[in-house]
Structures are given as C-alpha cells and as structure tokens.
Amino acid sequence: MRQLLISDGTTADGGYTNNVLAAGAVDVVGLSSDGFTPVVTGDDIADYPAIRLVQGTAQGVNIVSPWIDGLSVTKWTGQSYDPQQAQSSTLTITGTSSAAFNATVKLTSRAIGQAQFERKSYTVAIPNLSTPTAAAALISAAINANLPDFIASCTPAAGVITLVGKTFDSDPYTVLSSFETQSDIDGTYTSTAAVASVATPDLGNGGDGNLIVELEKSLQGMGRGFYNRVELPNTPPAYAVAGTTYDLYKLSFNNGSEGNIKGVDNYREIIIAYPAGGAGQAYFEGQINPWMTSTPGTFAAVTL
C-alpha cells in the first residue's frame, strides 16, 4: 500500500475544529488511552507506541494513515526539492561557406517508451560566403518555423545554435525530452558543424509539482478516470499543485496483521509532500523526528 499526504504549508499547531484539522496541514497524532492526540516536540515512543498522520482538507474531512507501530517502522528518509533539468545541446558552425549549398539538420526524439521516435528534418539554402552567424540564423529560423513537440526553444548566437528540450509537465501533458541532433554540414563547402551536449535530461528528485500531481493521479486511478460503485465517473479531490516545489518525506513500515492477500499488502509506504520551507514543515519535523529516533530502528532525524 502506498499513500500520499500533501500539505500546502499550513501549520498543524492550530489544532482541530469539530475534530477536523485545518485544511492543508499535516499532523502527527499519538495513540493513547484517550484516543489520539497531537504529538508535541519531544514526545517519543515511550509516550506513544503508535502514531498516525492526518491531513486536513478543504472538504472538511480528515485524510488519515493507518496506525504506525514504532516497532514496525523500516525506513524514515527525506529528500529536499531538486528541480528538473532540461536537455540542452549546441550545434556550432565554423568557417565561412565557399559556395552556396543546402544544409540539412535532423532532430530525433529519444524519449523512453516511444515505439516510433518523432523526428523532423530541415533543409536550408545557405548562400555563398555565409558566415557561421548567418548560417546559424537561417537554420534556426527554419527550425522555429516548425518546432518539434520535444523542443522548448531554439536560439542562434554567433554561429552557435542552442537547442533546449522540454521538461515533464502534467498539464498540458509532456514528457522530459531526450533528443539527438544530426547535421550534414561536413566541410564540403568550408563550413562545418559540431554537436555538443550542454546538459543531460534529469527529472530531479521527484519534488517537482508536476511529478507530485502525476503521482497523486496514479494513486487515485492512473489518471484514466476514477471508479466508484455509486456514481460513474467520480473524480476525488486533488491536493497537489503543479506550480509548487515540494520536499518529500518517506516512511515505510510493516503492517502488524496480514491482509487478505498473504504477502502482498503487508508492506506500506507513506509519502509526505511539504512545500519547501515554512513554519508548517518545521513544526512537522519537530513532531515526528524525536519519535522516529526513539524507535528500535533509531532512525536519524530528517531536516530538510
């Protein structure tokens, strides 16, 4: 089982109104003879043998995790937000042309999962005695007039064409671009072109808001609609915000009792997404870290 709890940075120390936590807050509560009560800084496993995570919502209901027994925790880690990195490549043209010729540049997508790679080819007439700057401007104009879906920008400057791929975006849906650049400007007419990599594509650590939106959709129904026995279709509320950058906390534990399918649903993982920085995040760390360090796993405090 995997569960995703998403905060908007609201601090949980405001408590509950009619047993409902403030919208956007994520609270840590402890199991006690009086039911569950908010954990405060310094409380550990001796105070509460089990904890539960609670997310407040604008719908006026709490989203809760299962009870987490301190003896069953297997992992407590965190990752600070690390942004996506778009691929960036250059095509550098050198040498003034000795005659007019046709230059061809081909761009080919190499995105994972594509059965048929998208590609576009551009053939451009380069006049006699064209400088590298002039040739780069002509080729860039042709590319920008018919820009591939996987290229975010094409910019010429002093004989250098810089191509930047797209990053993953959940709305509108795009994938992180990986592409190849080829050219036939091989020196036959004095001009030559060389391809170089500036930056390789990287999704970062997953804290990008677009990736959290997609993770939330996948946990709700793979983004293909949501099944409900009473009414179809039924779209549950969404809490991830594409434009937000999140720090992530990951908590794994074993279910104390076997599920209906033996060996399948005994292992559980909870991901908590907090907007990077802010009082709400600091308060959450103050609640959960002392409890985690006091469990038999003696997990190190996670401070992001």
pLDDT of residue 231: 61
The answer to the question of residue 74 being in a domain is yes
Same domain, 92 and 59: no
Same domain, 215 and 285: yes
Q: Of 199, 221, 245, which residue is a domain's last?
A: 199
Domain count, the chain: 2
The answer to the question of residue 92 being in a domain is yes
Q: How confident is the model at residue 257 (pLDDT cuts 50, 70, 90)?
A: low
Q: Which long-range CB contacts under 8 A does 118-125 form with residues at least 24 apart?
A: 118/148, 118/149, 118/150, 119/148, 120/146, 120/148, 122/146, 125/100, 125/101
- The position carrying tokens 């810089």 is 162
- What pTM did the predictor assign? 0.82
pLDDT of residue 206: 80
| Percent over 90 (pLDDT), the chain | 73
The answer to the question of residue 302 being in a domain is no
pLDDT of residue 205: 83
pLDDT of residue 235: 72
User: What separation in angstroms does the CA of 70 have from each of 47, 228, 278, 293, 299?
Assistant: 11, 34, 27, 10, 11
Same domain, 183 and 92: yes
For residue range 192-230, list pLDDT tens digits in order. Answer: 999 999 999 999 888 899 999 989 988 886 545 566 666
Q: How confident is the model at residue 190 (pLDDT cuts 50, 70, 90)?
A: very high
| Percent over 70 (pLDDT), the chain | 89
The CATH number linked to 157 is 2.60.40
pLDDT of residue 263: 52
Same domain, 23 and 67: yes
For residue range 258-298, list pLDDT tens digits in order. Answer: 554 555 556 689 999 999 888 899 999 999 999 999 999 99
The answer to the question of residue 259 being in a domain is yes
Please provide the DSSP assignment of 204-236 as one string: TTS-BHHHHHHHHHHHHHTTS----SSSSS---
Q: Is the dihedral of CA 58, 60, 66, 71 positive or negative?
A: positive
256, pLDDT greater than 60: no
113, pLDDT greater than 80: no
2, pLDDT greater than 80: yes
Same domain, 117 and 190: yes
Number of Cβ atoms within 10 Å of the Cβ of 176: 22
Of 207, 172, 253, nearest to 82 by C-alpha is: 207
pLDDT of residue 236: 81
The answer to the question of residue 163 being in a domain is yes
Q: Is the dihedral of CA 156, 157, 162, 166 positive or negative?
A: negative
Q: What is the mean pLDDT of residues 134-144?
A: 98
Same domain, 115 and 36: no
Same domain, 39 and 72: yes
Same domain, 149 and 193: yes
For residue range 5-43, list pLDDT tens digits in order. Answer: 999 999 999 889 988 999 999 999 999 877 778 999 999
The answer to the question of residue 213 being in a domain is yes
Q: Of 199, 220, 245, which residue is a domain's last?
A: 199
The answer to the question of residue 248 being in a domain is yes
Q: How confident is the model at residue 91 (pLDDT cuts 50, 70, 90)?
A: very high
The answer to the question of residue 250 being in a domain is yes
Higher pLDDT, 256 or 61: 61
Same domain, 249 and 161: no
With residues binned 3-state (H G I as helix, E B as strand, rest as coil), the percentages for the chain, rounded to 5, are 15, 40, 45
pLDDT of residue 266: 62
For residue range 58-84, list pLDDT tens digits in order. Answer: 999 999 999 999 999 999 999 999 999
Range of lowest pLDDT (56-70, 106-120, 122-136): 106-120
Find the domain containing 183 and state its range. 88-199
What's the chain's average pLDDT? 90
* Residue 298: exposure state from Cβ atoms within 10 A (0-12, 13-18, ≥19): exposed
Hey, what are 201's tokens? 């594509």
Same domain, 224 and 76: yes
Same domain, 189 and 231: no
Q: Of 199, 234, 258, which residue is a domain's last?
A: 199
Same domain, 72 and 160: no
